[in-house]
Amino acid sequence: MSIKRKQAENIASVLVEGMPYIQRFSGKKIVIKYGGAAMSEENLKKGFARDIALMKLVGMLPIVIHGGGPQIGHELKKKKIETKFINGYRVTDEKTMKVVKKILGREINKEIVDLIDSFGGKAKTLSWFNSNLLKASKLIHEEDLGLVGKVDSVRTSDINKVLRKEYIPIISPIGKDKSGNCLNINADLVAGKIASTIKAEKLILLTDVSGVQDKKGSLLSKISTYEAKKLLKTDTIKGGMSPKLSSSLESINEGTKSAHIIDGRVPHAVLLEVLTDDGVGTLIS
């Protein structure tokens, strides 16, 4: 058998196996938070964009919310602006906010849109300068975090308008308060709030670990919301995993059917999570 024929048979086999999932999720809204290694390594960036374009092509409705912490940190360092974190939140003063608006709202967002477009998809920016999608207020904390916010409400009409025009929404995690001031918001929390507001079929959060892990560091491939709540009360969940798990729980409680915390370092992680039973991370339902 020739190599080309073998490749063709492999492709056909994958398509046939994926067909039940494609049928199940056709026309369904799937919210994906994009960040970490998947956003910084060139081959993973291209793979992610190609996969999102493919999801749209087969009838799914992907909605992408992106982060950009390392890119913001690099720009702040270049401009010699000091940065400080409190409980995982970047303290955001006026100078830092200008960098956040530039990096998240324009540079990263445009790069994602252009990449998806290059693979035959059609993507559309939703950010602080062209949308009032995220109504926000200042996040109250024991220490002042500056211009750090939380999502109060989501103007779903902005997302639905983009979807009706057959575009893929690419959303920056920057909200506006009642006075029109921009606030820096954790992208995981934004994704969870959007997913629950639009009653998404799935919330998928990309991370740089295998998924939610137990005390021994072993992957928990599937957990209930009850088990997730118990984990959050222990010291097992640390750092960036805490907002991911909290966002997943809140989103499910408010209407999202399932949440997935997956390893974004794995090529085609999003497709593997959507088109297979096993996936590449933790399913919370």
Give a yes or no: residue 14 inside a domain: no
Q: What is the CATH number of the domain that holds 173?
A: 3.40.1160.10
Q: What is the pLDDT along the chain (285 residues), one digit of tens a residue?
A: 567 777 667 667 767 778 888 999 999 999 999 988 889 889 999 999 999 999 999 999 999 999 998 899 999 999 999 999 887 789 999 999 999 999 998 999 999 999 999 999 999 999 999 999 999 999 998 889 999 999 999 999 999 999 999 999 999 999 999 999 999 999 999 999 999 999 999 999 999 888 888 888 888 889 999 988 888 888 778 777 888 888 899 999 998 999 999 999 999 999 988 988 777 889 998
User: How many domains does the chain divide into?
Assistant: 1
- For residue 153, give the 3-state DSSP assignment: strand
Q: Are 194 and 31 spatial neighbours (Cβ–Cβ below 8 Å)?
A: yes
pTM of this structure: 0.92
- For residue 139, give the 3-state DSSP assignment: coil
Tokens linked to 176: 């506006």
* Enclosing domain of residue 141: 24-284
Give a yes or no: residue 8 inside a domain: no
Pairing of strands 61-66, 85-86: unpaired
Q: Which residues contact 218 (CB under 8 A, 6 or more apart)?
A: none
Give a yes or no: residue 101 inside a domain: yes
Q: Name residue, tokens 């999932």.
A: 21
Partnered with residue 90 across adjacent β-strands are: 85
Q: Are 262 and 205 spatial neighbours (Cβ–Cβ below 8 Å)?
A: yes
Give a yes or no: residue 19 inside a domain: no
- Residue 36 vs residues 41, 85, 238: alpha-carbon distances, Å: 9, 17, 16
Give a yes or no: residue 18 inside a domain: no
Pairing of strands 85-86, 89-90: antiparallel
Give a yes or no: residue 12 inside a domain: no
Give a yes or no: residue 11 inside a domain: no
Give a yes or no: residue 71 inside a domain: yes
